[in-house]
Structure 1
Amino acid sequence: MAPPRARTPGDARPRRTHPVRRGFLAALVAAAVGLPVAGAARPAEVPAPIPPPTRPLTGGTTAELAARLDARYAVQRAALQAAERTAEAYGAHHRAAALHAMAQPGRRFLAFDGRDGGRSAEVVGDLASADRIAVLVPGVDTGLDHYARFRAGALALQDALHRDTGGGRTAVVAWLGYRPPATGSTASLTPGRAAQAAPALSTAVAELHRIRPGARITLLCHSYGSVVCARAAQGSPAAAIVLYGSPGTGYDTAADLRTRATVWAGRAAGDGVALVPHVRVPLPSLTRAGSELGFGTDPVAPAFGARRFPAGDGGHSAYLAPGSVSLRSLARIVDGREPADA
């Protein structure tokens, strides 16, 4: 039998790469080429008026805090209505409709600013009496135009908390305090947006701690939101930081977050983010979007050092789906209990 012919470099078979992994690697290459000139153009934004100033909230009796919160909610509702009128006049009818829904009586916003894509923080539940507060930090493709999807997750979590805690005093804050990047965009591959967002998240959590100093605060950080939470972790009064559907945090280990909070991580079996390469590629110092591409160590890997929680078999956007394993786990962590089978 003749010996097998030795392959030359020209006829070597290429290694197969999963399509999602190929796409991410291609995006890394494209971003590395495009980043030096990125930032020269910004997408058109729907205009909105400058929001009115708000007074910092402080604690007090439940009745005193409830009155101050009601006053804050009224100011933010007026800001939403003003932004709706501006969007309608501009011809942004979809945005105007979303803002109209957000401004309905009974909705409670701690903060709203319609400029630069929009910022908001909505309360689901009674914050004045809450002894468990969950802060939802969203990831890619979250914004005012599709805000209902984000709020649906907050409502599902509050409902799960209410049922699982026997009607305990809980509140969920849907924090859209930054402009999340779009899926596949250059910004979604770098920590730049997270670095800009982290101070605002830290300020929001500090205010919640100030008005309810005895409450247990949990940060629930989805997708790119986990990069934001990691940047805001140091010194946070949060009792727990939960990373789910995360592409990484930009840190090698949970200890590198320098937080006293318990760091949890989970990923559903059907979440395609598992195929994202966990790399960090340095970028030229002239880029504006961030100093590197990728977010490093997988948060669910043992090397990262986070506590794992059961996340079921849903997809990337299904962690807060009613009745899901992941939602039950998140509700138990917010309540300060061990998730089942953790």
Structure 2
Amino acid sequence: MSTGSRFRRTLLAGLVAAAVVFPVSAAASPRIPAPAPAVLSGSAGLQSRYDAGLAGIAEAARAAQDSGHAGRAAKLGTMAEPGAQFLTFDGRGQGRAIEVFGDLGTADRVAVLVPGSDTNLDTYQRFREGALSLQQRLQAGHPRSAVVAWLGYDTPGTVSTTVLTADRADRAAAELGPFLSRLRGFTPADARISLLCHSYGSVVCGRTATGPGVSDMALFGSPGTGADSAADLPTTARVWAGRGSGDWIGEVPHIRLGGIGFGTDPVDPAFGARAFATGSAGHSDYLKPGTESLDSLARIVTGTEAPHA
């Protein structure tokens, strides 16, 4: 075995050992009771879904408060601000939430954000802030736009064995693909839909059959997708990739051994994705106001971004 191969195997073993030894906050958190979400008919319109989402959040907040989980109740209360638009909400377990920013019914540019590890109801505000930042940036130049914050899966913990494999990504992709098809029923026929996939979310997107309705897929802060090249992804969308100079994930080996790791680095020219400018973004900075990465992602959504050399 070569020295490089030994190093890679040793490093992966260390990552797995660390994930096993150090406790994972999500796994250690108490189970918080919440009611099952209301079942709506397939013909239910946007407003009916938004009303049901807010009602579900209010019920989950009451259940959390009554069971002594005031912190969760307070976070749910923040989510249910006046005018919030949740297509779906499920307060059970880690929680699922799909929130819309903007007028989905008139938008001809729609971005679907897919989050990475450690995103759940307790950390949702961080995810929401990124979605809102993107929507405000889009609105400045393209008023007919909308952003969908898609927390539609149980994300892995950053320090866990699950973040090293595609198991959760495969389950998430089985949810995301059909959702993208249903999303078409709420938008104008000519709407341009883009998938913006952060960190482990890029593993999810890389395994999602998008169909012809998705025009662009942007991977940022990505550990890899599990594919050797952009051409191997189950999509006809244009594939973009970017990583900020301050992102620690650039130090993670882009390898795959058995079921561990995700292979080729999407920003490697050999992967074949279109590069986009990200500036000095750190791993959690890509959607922060005023950043080069936010500007680039907004241009990808509007269809005005040119590949970065």
Normalising to structure 2: TM-score of the pair?
A: 0.90
Percentage of identical aligned residues: 53
Alignment correspondent of 2:101: 124
1:309 and 2:297 equivalent?
no
Within the candidate set 296, 299, 316, 2:263 is matched to 296
1:200 Cα offset (Å): 1.1
Q: Please give the alpha-carbon distance, in whole angstroms, between the structure 1 residues aligned to 2:168 and 2:225.
A: 13
Within the candidate set 145, 148, 158, 1:173 is matched to 148
Alignment of 1:31-110 (within 5 A): 44-57=30-43, 68-110=45-87
**Higher mean C-alpha deviation, range 41-50 or range 172-181:** 41-50
SS in 1 for 2:175: helix
Counterpart amino acid of residue 50 in structure 1: A
Alignment of 1:231-246 (within 5 A): 231-235=207-211, 237-246=213-222
Q: Please give the alpha-carbon distance, in whole angstroms, between the structure 2 residues aligned to 1:273 and 1:261.
A: 25
1:211 Cα offset (Å): 2.3
1:258 Cα offset (Å): 2.9
Alignment correspondent of 2:304: 337
1:145 and 2:130 equivalent?
no
Larger Rg, first or second structure (1 or 2): 1
Alignment of 1:120-269 (within 5 A): 120-165=97-142, 168-212=143-187, 213-235=189-211, 237-269=213-245
Alignment correspondent of 1:27: 15
Q: In the alignment, is the contact (CA less than 8 A) between 1:119 and 1:178 conserved in 2?
A: yes
1:234/1:173 CA distance change after superposition, 3 Å: closer
Aligned residue-pair number: 300
Deviations 1:41-78 (A, max 9, x none): 886432211111022258xxxxxxxxx21121111111
Q: Please give the alpha-carbon distance, in whole angstroms, between the structure 2 residues aligned to 1:29 and 1:75.
A: 43
Q: In the alignment, is the contact (CA less than 8 A) between 2:35 and 2:59 conserved in 1?
A: yes
Q: Please give the alpha-carbon distance, in whole angstroms, between the structure 1 residues aligned to 2:10 and 2:250.
A: 13
Q: Please give the alpha-carbon distance, in whole angstroms, between the structure 2 residues aligned to 1:224 and 1:173.
A: 18
1:315 Cα offset (Å): 0.5
**Higher mean C-alpha deviation, range 269-278 or range 236-245:** 236-245
Q: Please give the alpha-carbon distance, in whole angstroms, between the structure 1 residues aligned to 2:218 and 2:306.
A: 12
Please give the root-mean-square deviation of Cα atoms over the aligned residues, in Å.
Answer: 2.5
Q: In the alignment, is the contact (CA less than 8 A) between 2:275 and 2:308 conserved in 1?
A: no
Q: Please give the alpha-carbon distance, in whole angstroms, between the structure 1 residues aligned to 2:234 and 2:178.
A: 17
Q: Please give the alpha-carbon distance, in whole angstroms, between the structure 2 residues aligned to 1:236 and 1:188.
A: 29
SS in 1 for 2:249: helix
1:202/1:99 CA distance change after superposition, 3 Å: same
1:113 Cα offset (Å): 0.6
Q: Please give the alpha-carbon distance, in whole angstroms, between the structure 2 residues aligned to 1:210 and 1:120.
A: 19
Normalising to structure 1: TM-score of the pair?
A: 0.82
SS in 2 for 1:127: coil
Structure with bigger RCO (C-alpha 8 Å, 6+ apart): 1
The unaligned stretches of length 5 or more in structure 2 are: 1-6, 22-26
1:341/1:305 CA distance change after superposition, 3 Å: closer
**Higher mean C-alpha deviation, range 68-77 or range 297-306:** 68-77
